[in-house]
Amino acid sequence: MKKTGGIIATIVACLLCGCPGLVAIGLGVFVAVGNQLPQAAQNVISTQNVITTTLLLLCPGLVFITIPVVVGILTLRNKRTPTPVQDAPVPQADAAPVQPAYVPSPAPQPVSPPPPVQPAPQPAVADPTQELYARLMALNRPTAPYRIVDGSSENVDLIAEWKIVDAQWYEIFAKANLTKVFRIYLKLDPARRELRAMDREYTLQWRAGVPSLSVEASFFKGQKSSISFGTGYAFTETLAPGQVYKYKFNTNELKKPIQDAVAACGWTYKGVAFGKL
């Protein structure tokens, strides 16, 4: 809209000022070169000097021609919007410095203690007592003529004995003509890593092929070192692969497996002759 208005103003200025200016300049030029003016004009300027007439025509003509040019320049040029300049505030000498607003510091948060370090799990250590107990109980097998049983009824840990009271073994012990047998009473001492052992001898009587034990005058308590309680009848136990055991039912045949198991666990077999286990 502003540009259209400028064009219209320039055209109007050209018609009103530019055209008369051109006419005046033309007349001035014509007078200056000596051409004859029309009769009416000659009467007007007959008393004037030619130079004055020329100047009076040229100067207003130039002014009139300049007017549409100035109007066109002023109305049609691109106006730049001046950037507003913000004046920096002038500090006052007497003004007190501006203090920042007080902001309370946040209350300290309680710091949780670090979680306790869990100790690394230690590898399970085998109970030496349980290890020895398991080895001794592993000596039991159906084909062996002896057995190791719990001895809590006799206030001991274990009892090693021949299978005299087992009906499956009556015939074998009867053929051996045993008249005396013994038991080994065992007690574990973890503090000293000892297996304390005490032998007890019993009299064996046969009644209708069934044995019975008695603890009469022949009762013995201590360490038995006799070789055999029978007539020398041998019983052979065969195990795979090719293991053969010959029993004559002497003390060593019952003690040796126990002593070997004790030594394998790092314990000591200690025979007790007198006193308590």
Report if residue 191 sits inside a domain.
Answer: yes
Report if residue 82 sits inside a domain.
Answer: no
Last residue of a domain, one of 76, 102, 117: 76
Examine the domain organization and report whether 145 and 261 are in the same domain. Answer: yes
Over residues 120-179, the pLDDT tens digits come to: 776 555 678 999 999 999 999 998 999 999 999 989 999 999 998 888 888 888 887 778
Over residues 172-189, the pLDDT tens digits come to: 888 877 788 888 999 999
- Residue 227 has a pLDDT of 44
CA-wise closest residue to 17 among 85, 66, 88: 66
Over residues 59-72, the pLDDT tens digits come to: 776 777 777 777 77
Examine the domain organization and report whether 71 and 136 are in the same domain. Answer: no
CA-wise closest residue to 133 among 153, 113, 156: 156
- Residue matched to tokens 């394998």: 264
Q: Is residue 159 a contact partner of residue 221, using CB atoms and an 8 Å limit? A: no
Report the distance separating Cα 220 and Cα 192, nearest Å.
27
Please list the residues that pair with 271 across neighbouring strands.
197
Examine the domain organization and report whether 156 and 245 are in the same domain. Answer: yes
Residues 6+ away with beta carbon under 8 Å from 189: 195, 196
Examine the domain organization and report whether 72 and 132 are in the same domain. Answer: no
Examine the domain organization and report whether 267 and 132 are in the same domain. Answer: yes
Alpha helices in the chain (DSSP H): 2-13, 19-32, 39-45, 50-76, 128-137, 170-175, 251-264
- Residue 26 has a pLDDT of 72
Examine the domain organization and report whether 55 and 138 are in the same domain. Answer: no
Over residues 207-265, the pLDDT tens digits come to: 877 877 776 444 456 565 554 445 556 688 888 777 888 888 888 888 999 999 999 99
Report the distance separating Cα 116 and Cα 159, nearest Å.
49
Report if residue 213 sits inside a domain.
Answer: yes
Q: Is residue 235 a contact partner of residue 173, using CB atoms and an 8 Å limit? A: no
Report if residue 27 sits inside a domain.
Answer: yes
Global model pTM greater than 0.85: no
Examine the domain organization and report whether 59 and 164 are in the same domain. Answer: no
CA 151 to chain centre: 53
Last residue of a domain, one of 60, 76, 92: 76
Report the distance separating Cα 248 and Cα 230, nearest Å.
7
CA-wise closest residue to 275 among 192, 216, 196, 202: 196
- Residue 265 has a pLDDT of 94
Report if residue 86 sits inside a domain.
Answer: no
Angle between helices 50-76 and 19-32 (to 10 degrees): 150
Examine the domain organization and report whether 133 and 267 are in the same domain. Answer: yes
Over residues 192-205, the pLDDT tens digits come to: 999 999 988 888 88
Report if residue 114 sits inside a domain.
Answer: no
Examine the domain organization and report whether 140 and 245 are in the same domain. Answer: yes
Examine the domain organization and report whether 158 and 242 are in the same domain. Answer: yes
Kindly state the helix (H) or strand (E) to which residue 12 belongs, with its residue range.
Answer: helix 2-13
Instruction: Round the average pLDDT of the chain to a whole number and report it.
Output: 75
Report the distance separating Cα 245 and Cα 239, nearest Å.
8
Report if residue 198 sits inside a domain.
Answer: yes
Examine the domain organization and report whether 66 and 154 are in the same domain. Answer: no
Examine the domain organization and report whether 137 and 69 are in the same domain. Answer: no
Domain with 59 in it:
2-76
Total domain count, the chain: 2
Report if residue 30 sits inside a domain.
Answer: yes
